[in-house]
Amino acid sequence: MRNSPTLAASADAADEGGAGGESRRATRALCALNFFMADVQAGIGPFLGVFLQQRGWQPGAIGSVMTAGGVAGMLMTVPAGAFIDHTARKRWVVVITGICTVLASFLILWSQAGWVVTVSQVATAIAGAAIGPAVAGITLGVVRQRGFNAQNGRNQAWNHAGNMVGAALSGWLGFRYGMPAIFFLAALFGVFAILSVLTIPERTIDHRAARGLEGPHDGKTAAADGGQAQGLRTLLHNRPLLILAAALACFHLGNGAMLPLYGLAVVGAGKGNPAMFTALTVVVAQAVMIVTALAAMRLSATRGYWLVMLVSFASLPLRGLIAGSVIDSWGVWPVQALDGIGAGLQSVAVPGLVACLLDGTGRVNVGQGAVMTVQGLGASLSPAIGGWLAQLFGYQLAFYVLGGFALASLALWIGFATMLRPACAGVCERPASRSTLKESSA
């Protein structure tokens, strides 16, 4: 007996409704994951410097151990991105990195010996190098290229909200129960991040789309045949991508040390409680980042990524000038508000622009990792440079020098504006993205 057209239509509608329900469940889980993953990405983050300072560490040594972690993370971002492109088990990458980060953070509680802290930071950095491309890949696989800009904007807003809430709780717990309580809060956030990623239905992730290849095949086929991805040399032939990476490297060379160094400067001058002031530096920045992430999502869709990145680069020189001039507790407001503007804009614009530039290549997550590697080079050197400058010449000069590095970013971004503006123009559509890539690579 044949099914009636009415029954067939009802079955199709039910299937679509079920798929739509799973898709909504996946996007909600992505928001929750980004809320809780902040501590998974960076361990105890800016509280580490103050924690070690209380135990007799000097600024130069603190900066050096942070740099060791940054270098390790930098070396792992491209291999991690390649693995994310290849694997169909992206959710489990988040689970494993979350567990490793929590365990690595507890190592510092066990011992503050130099080699133990270094091992902990290296492990945390490696995990952070993998989780960023993994979440970006999952997002792209769930919402595809067309929905990536909007969902990534929501992801980043929730991520900044998680950072803000986590920092506020860390400051209160550190003030009430001591700095070790912050480690236990980070572990709790890690557990919730793991639970969040496991609630994403596996079949909602299209693993072809997750690496920048959308087509008629399902994710299992793409994972098995490699998705006909282009060679890694496509990254080197994409000139806008190379300029973006170089500009980000210069920016993060100055920005990487600014937050922990400002906390050390104010706390070292006796003008703030260690836990509460460090928490305030994060809360102010992350509150601003929530607003700027949502603004960047809309601005990039209407005016393009070039303007968004330009504003982000311009924020750092002003931030360095204010930080060097106002080493006082109230200075946290303008200094960290500017951090929120710069980092908040980039958190949306950089992944979106990379996904757009590499759409159709099958190398989106490798590209994300490559850009993270180059900017990580700057970020990993920044704590050592800033720490030693502060120790030898004082905090004021250190902030001026760090802020000045972003002038090179502005020079690159403005100097190559003629090439960059077309490549950064708005949210890419699939037919246009391929032609843009060819023109950009010529």
pLDDT tens, position by position, 68-94: 887 887 788 888 888 888 888 899 999
CA 395 to chain centre: 27
Residue 442 has what pLDDT? 44
Phi first, then psi: give them for residue 223, nearest 5 degrees.
-65, -30
Pick the range with the lowest mean pLDDT from 76-85, 135-144, 147-156, 341-350. 76-85
What tokens were used for 341? 């503007």
CA distances from 290 to 299, 357, 405 (A): 14, 25, 25
Pick the range with the lowest mean pLDDT from 307-311, 344-348, 376-380. 376-380
Closest CA to 383 of 7, 69, 39, 55: 69
The whole-number average pLDDT for the span 97-101 is 84
- pLDDT band for position 10 (cuts 50, 70, 90): very low
Cβ neighbours of 178 (radius 10 Å)? 11
Residue 114 has what pLDDT? 81
439, pLDDT greater than 50: no
CA 280 to chain centre: 20
282, pLDDT greater than 80: no
Q: Are 261 and 399 in contact (CB under 8 A)?
A: yes
Please give the Cα distance from 251 to 270 (Å, whole number).
30
Please give the Cα distance from 290 to 267 (Å, whole number).
26
Amino acid letter, 191: V
First to last CA, the chain: 60
Residue 81 has what pLDDT? 84
Residue 4 has what pLDDT? 53
Residue 86 has what pLDDT? 84
Please give the Cα distance from 249 to 380 (Å, whole number).
10
438, pLDDT greater than 70: no
CA triple 108-128-175, angle to 5 deg: 45
The whole-number average pLDDT for the span 94-102 is 86
18, pLDDT greater than 70: no
CB within 8 A of 294, min separation 6: which ones?
153, 157
Please give the Cα distance from 130 to 76 (Å, whole number).
8
361, pLDDT greater than 50: yes
Residue 437 has what pLDDT? 39
Check residue 56 and give left, alpha or beta (phi > 0: left; psi -120 to 50: alpha).
left
Cβ neighbours of 50 (radius 10 Å)? 26
Residue 264 has what pLDDT? 82
Please give the Cα distance from 156 to 412 (Å, whole number).
26
Check residue 201 and give left, alpha or beta (phi > 0: left; psi -120 to 50: alpha).
beta
Please give the Cα distance from 429 to 132 (Å, whole number).
24
The whole-number average pLDDT for the span 187-198 is 90
Please give the Cα distance from 149 to 431 (Å, whole number).
17
Q: DSSP label at 231?
A: P
13, pLDDT greater than 60: no
Q: Which residue has better confidence, 393 or 369?
A: 393
Cβ neighbours of 55 (radius 10 Å)? 10
Q: Are 61 and 49 in contact (CB under 8 A)?
A: no
The whole-number average pLDDT for the span 154-173 is 85
